[in-house]
Structure 1
Amino acid sequence: ELLTFVNTDDSDVDGFELNIFQELNMLPEPIDGLFISMNFTKTDGNSSLAVDNGTVSFPFRKLSEDVSNISIGYDKNKFDIRLSAVSRSPYLDYLADDDSETIQEDLDNNNIRYTDDHTQIDFNLKYKINDQVSIKFDISNITDEPEFYYWGTPNRLSQYDEYGRTYSIGIRYNL
Structure 2
Amino acid sequence: MTRRPTKSSQKKRSDPRELARFVEELSWLLKSFEDIDYNALSNFSHQAELFISNSEKFRPSSSVDQNSMVLVGILPNFLMDTKLFPVNEGIVEFAEAALGLPLRRWQKKSRYEIIGQIVCHANEASPEKIARLSEIIEEMHDNQTSIRNVIETNREQGRSWSEVIGRLYDGL
Higher helix share: 2
Higher strand share: 1
TM-score calculated relative to the size of structure 2: 0.19
Considering Cα pairs closer than 8 Å and 6+ residues apart, tell me whether 1 or 2 has the greater RCO.
2
